């Protein structure tokens, strides 16, 4: 366990210049428990961070930031599938690369999603027609109050579109320490989403999909090492069939994806694009020129710049389409996570 700088500028992919009272890197579960106990004794908040890839740090954090570096990948082969047990401090994209390298397919559509394995269940990460819930077998959850590790089967994880129980009842006092994946040996490509439909299913391979997805993502999402960002800032909204019918009658080119429950998923990027906000700025924050769904720290942006920009976009889309976009990025205040919608609904303390 080591105490490093209190600066979080290089611990969040937005590269926002915020600080924490303490910053501690841990690589063992017993150290996680020790840090938790210390923060409880001091009555200080605790924030667990991986690579800071899906968070917006609104201000200096008043407590201890704990950086998760639990490592380990263990693979068990059975007749019809590989079972992969991976520690939560492993990098997600490196896991995708590792499994493909040793001949295990199934994660290729999820290539280049930033962050650690431990963040994947919280958001139920997904891309190009695949979500984590499609390959997840279980989540190992550390109860900081008791020290016990509970194995939560996938059916009890409450997975939905960017949703899980880990965002709600297990948000405080619990840490995801490992993830179990089941990758079937009988591989079937998922080519139904977006540009992947261009690929020929007769000749496609897992590695071909992997490189195709990586190419698509690199065109749309800037490397946070070069320009600060947290990936897709807003979720793609889900609307009722009646609402969609009304919208498509006015906007025939609107991208849409019917869901099994009767709802229709719309493209948040397309909705934002209708305002031609490419390179729109608020202070040092801007809309990324290649993808309207990405907000970037273009020139030493403050957290307020990003919030004000997100609020402007959200209000603009609502005024035209009567659709309120919800942030995908988690908002973190001085004492912990805040309700992102409430933050964007307030201006100068007044709810709009």
Burial class (CB in 10 A: 0-12, 13-18, 19+), 240: exposed
- Catalytic pick from 90, 108, 131, 328? 328
- Catalytic pick from 232, 298, 303, 314? 232
- Catalytic pick from 15, 88, 131, 162? 162
| CA distance linking residue 57 with residue 334, whole number of Å | 9
- Whole-angstrom CA distances from 344 to 57, 63, 148, 313, 314 are 14, 24, 37, 10, 8
162 catalytically annotated? yes
Per-position DSSP letters for 54-107, written without gaps between them: TEEE-S-EEEEEEEE----EEEEE-SSEEEEEEETTSBHHHHHHHHHHTT--S-
| CA distance linking residue 169 with residue 132, whole number of Å | 20
| CA distance linking residue 347 with residue 352, whole number of Å | 7
Per DSSP bridges, beta strands 294-297 and 228-232 are antiparallel
User: Measured over all CA atoms, what is the biggest interatomic distance in the chain, rounded to whole angstroms?
Assistant: 61
Helix (H, G, I), strand (E, B) or coil at 265: strand
| CA distance linking residue 46 with residue 120, whole number of Å | 20
Q: Which residues are catalytic?
A: 162, 232, 328
């Amino acid at each position: 366990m080591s105490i490093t700088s209190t600066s979080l500028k290089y611990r969040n992919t937005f590269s926002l210049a915020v600080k924490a009272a303490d910053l501690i890197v841990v690589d063992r579960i017993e150290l996680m428990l020790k840090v938790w106990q210390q923060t409880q004794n001091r009555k200080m908040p605790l924030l667990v961070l991986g690579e800071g890839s899906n968070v917006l740090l609104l201000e200096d954090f008043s407590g201890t930031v704990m950086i998760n570096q639990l490592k380990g990948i263990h693979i068990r082969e059975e007749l019809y599938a590989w079972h992969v047990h991976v520690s939560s401090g492993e990098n997600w994209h490196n896991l995708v690369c590792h499994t493909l390298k040793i001949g295990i397919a199934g994660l290729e559509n999820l290539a280049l999603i930033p962050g650690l394995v431990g963040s994947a269940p919280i958001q139920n990460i997904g891309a190009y027609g695949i979500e984590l819930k499609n390959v997840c077998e279980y989540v190992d959850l550390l109860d900081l109050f008791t020290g016990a590790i509970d194995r939560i089967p996938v059916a009890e994880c409450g997975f939905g579109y960017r949703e899980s129980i880990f965002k709600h009842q297990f948000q405080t006092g619990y840490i995801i320490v490992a993830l179990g994946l089941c990758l079937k040996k009988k591989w079937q490509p998922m080519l139904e989403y977006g540009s992947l439909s261009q690929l020929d299913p007769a000749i496609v391979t897992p590695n071909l999909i992997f490189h195709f997805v990586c190419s698509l993502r690199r065109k749309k999402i800037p490397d946070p090492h070069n320009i600060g960002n947290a990936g897709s800032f807003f979720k793609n909204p889900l609307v009722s069939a009646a609402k969609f019918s009304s919208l498509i009658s006015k906007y025939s080119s609107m991208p849409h994806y019917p869901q099994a429950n009767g709802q229709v998923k719309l493209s948040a990027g397309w909705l934002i694009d209708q305002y031609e906000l490419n390179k729109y700025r608020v202070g040092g924050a801007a809309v990324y020129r290649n993808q309207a769904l990405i907000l970037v720290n273009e020139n030493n942006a403050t957290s307020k710049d990003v919030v004000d920009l997100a609020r402007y976009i959200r209000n603009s889309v609502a005024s035209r389409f009567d659709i309120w976009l919800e942030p995908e990025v988690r908002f973190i205040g001085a004492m912990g996570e805040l309700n992102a919608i409430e933050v964007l609904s307030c201006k100068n303390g007044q709810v709009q």
